[in-house]
Amino acid sequence: MRVIENIKTFLYDKKYSINIYENNIHIYNYLDLVELTDTRITLKVEEFDLQITGEGLHVARMAERELIVKGTLHDVRFIR
């Protein structure tokens, strides 16, 4: 399924992509990792900060400008 998402992202030429699932979130093309704790992760995206709160949060997979956060998600906020 990841291959399909990568192809879609490439074809649509998005500035960024945020996909939220039940217990994980996939962020593509973020600029900077601002904060990383087991209850809050904050990322700098082009036009805003993305703040993820929850329990047992951890980076499950990380590549250049792409990451997957797993854990119990409580809230996802876009902060201008």
User: CB-hemisphere CA count at 13 Å for 56?
Assistant: 5
Residue 11 has pLDDT above 80, yes or no: no
Domain 15-79 has CATH 2.60.40.2000: yes
Match 């990792």 to its residue by tokens: 33
Task: Give the model confidence (pLDDT) of 31-57 as tens digits.
Answer: 999 999 999 999 999 889 999 999 999
Domain boundaries, the chain: 15-79
Percent of the chain with pLDDT over 70: 90
